Structure 1
């Protein structure tokens, strides 16, 4: 799936199967999902529900969304970190909300992050994100149907920035590994003869990490382990390449699969372990 070809209509409801077909990936159950399209363009999917634990305010053109983490103090890691970083390093964010006992997720349109603030809630610290619905998507909603639930958005001007990725380099690496994950060594099939894998930058591109877009900073991963790297549940020893995983016993203690002509940057692995891994 490429984001440019994605066809979503604000106001329409989608079930889990619809979302899997549209985005080429299923739902993880997280409120903030970190995803990538076929061009390695990062994007986020946000989910909120009336029956959820966070008491999100999702009315109006500008609204509040509480970050991930249902117990203890929330931290600016994993999905919370990527959502917070979107203030200065914008990326596509697709917002879905489920009303009451509805079975489907109603697409609310694209949103931008205005601010993030730590606040006290029920004796713990949570992060409250202020999100702004993008005008061009909201104007497509059937206003007569939505007027009782959503206020008309304010008009705002936003400037979008996108990191230009070296897609040719990523493509060559995927071919070198035959679309095989370097963590679990599984090859996901995209078609009868073609495989599917994703390229992951150990030190992420763009602010605030400013990682290099070079092969030494990239791993070829299946979607599941790509998400694990983003959420910080996996780390790799820079010297031995032994994997540590927070919950996957099948790969915990296994050695990372690295071709002899793919030299990984030990400093990039160390950066991931220090700045992103969270277990």
Structure 2
């Protein structure tokens, strides 16, 4: 999926499976999801529910959204870190809301981060991050005659050149098939149909700037959607020598071993890069 080709209109209601199909990525259950399109462009998906733990008021053009982390003081890591970074370095942020009693998510358009702060949470002895979000492309109530006339004039045109990363999709497909679409972290095999497995390819050293990682099998892992998201969030680190997994919160995986086939020449340097640059614990 390329963001430039994404067809999504505010007001659309989508089930979890429809969201997965539209974005080529399943839901992780987190409020803030870090995602990448086929051009390795990072974007965020935000989810807010009337039945959620924070009762976000998402009415109006500008509203407050409480960050992720349900126990203890919230920290500026994972999704909170990327959402905070978007204040100075904007990126596409897709906002979804689900009303009480509804199964589907309503897409409410893209939003931008105006500000954020950390402070006490009402009725709870802990600190949370509050993000002030503003809906993009808000309609102005008044447009003066001069602007209206300008809007009626033919739009100017300029020629631009778009730079994109060309992924070797055959390379990733071959590696997924080699692992039978089984996650190298948890050993689970998801399905996209009765007979077809589903897995995602993850670049330990991301292809886009400022990382500029290579699109080679030595830099790739085969993962289920959940643990792909955990790598993106920096919730997983892997010892480059022993392949021992360190997981920030999933105790059953903390200390387990990454599954690596003998014919998969995974480069320890890329694991080390991920640990030093992306892992956040």
Tell whether the structures are fold-level matches, with TM greater than 0.5.
yes
How far is the alpha carbon of 1:191 from its aligned partner?
6.4
CA distance in 2, matches of 1:80, 1:7: 27
2:213 paired residue number: 212
Gap change, CA 1:204 and 1:174, over 3 Å in 2: same
Aligned with 1:84: secondary structure? helix
1:135-172 per-position Cα deviation (integer Å, ceiling 9, x unaligned): 1xx66xxxxxxxxxxx97xxxxxxxxx9944412x642
How far is the alpha carbon of 1:227 from its aligned partner?
1.5
CA distance in 2, matches of 1:263, 1:105: 39
8 Å Cα contact 1:111/1:133 also seen in 2: yes
Q: Which ranges of structure 1 fall in alignment gaps of 5 or more residues? A: 140-150, 153-161
1:144 paired residue number: none
CA distance in 2, matches of 1:12, 1:255: 39
Question: Which of 256, 259, 265 in structure 1 is aligned with 2:259?
Answer: 256
Question: Which of 210, 230, 233 in structure 2 is aligned with 1:231?
Answer: 233
Aligned with 2:80: secondary structure? helix
CA distance in 1, matches of 2:12, 2:201: 32
Query: Could you state the TM-score of these two structures normalised by the residue count of structure 2?
Result: 0.71
Gap change, CA 1:163 and 1:223, over 3 Å in 2: farther
2:171 paired residue number: 172
1:48 correspondence with 2:51 = no
1:61 paired residue number: 61
Aligned with 1:60: secondary structure? coil
2:22 paired residue number: 22
8 Å Cα contact 1:64/1:130 also seen in 2: yes
- Tell which structure's C-alpha radius of gyration is larger: 2
CA distance in 1, matches of 2:38, 2:263: 26
CA distance in 1, matches of 2:23, 2:99: 22
Query: Could you state the TM-score of these two structures normalised by the residue count of structure 1?
Result: 0.72
- Aligned ranges for residues 110-189 of structure 1 at < 5 Å? 110-122=110-122, 123-135=125-137, 164-168=164-168, 171-178=170-177, 180-184=182-186, 188=190
1:83-137 per-position Cα deviation (integer Å, ceiling 9, x unaligned): 22333444332101123444432211012223332233344222222222221xx
2:250 paired residue number: 247
8 Å Cα contact 2:26/2:225 also seen in 1: no
Q: Which ranges of structure 2 fall in alignment gaps of 5 or more residues? A: 142-161
1:185-204 per-position Cα deviation (integer Å, ceiling 9, x unaligned): 55555568875433323344
Aligned with 1:167: secondary structure? coil
Question: Which of 192, 203, 206 in structure 2 is aligned with 1:201?
Answer: 203
